[in-house]
Amino acid sequence: MSALTASDAHHVLDVVLATERALHRVVQPDKINLASLGNLVPHLHWHVIPRWKNDSHFPAPIWAEAQRTGVARPLPSNAALLCALKAELSTLNEMP
């Protein structure tokens, strides 16, 4: 993120937060973890991970060892996620 211009970094974070809001609306998790992890290939990506208190890894990160057997959750449709994400992204141009 620090290699981006201030404007680009702000835009990326706006998109990440819009994605978080869309996931909250559609899947209604107890919380959402945001993570930006690096590796050997220079690129930028964020993980926006819905979490529930009874998921198999909670409260540890999903890439840690499982704490228990998790409860399966129904997956939302791609259409529902896309609709919520489009709605959230549309508000970015309206913000000052």
- How does pLDDT run across 6-27, given as a tens digit for each residue? 999 999 999 999 999 999 999 9
96 pLDDT exceeds 60?
no
pLDDT at 94: 66
* pLDDT band at residue 72 under the 50/70/90 scheme: confident
Alpha-carbon separation of residue 75 from 28, 36, 37, 72 (angstroms): 12, 24, 25, 9
* pLDDT band at residue 56 under the 50/70/90 scheme: very high
If 0-12 CB within 10 Å is exposed, 13-18 middle and 19+ buried, where does residue 6 land? exposed
95 pLDDT exceeds 70?
no
CATH assignment, 6-87: 3.30.428.10
**Which pTM does this prediction carry?**
0.86
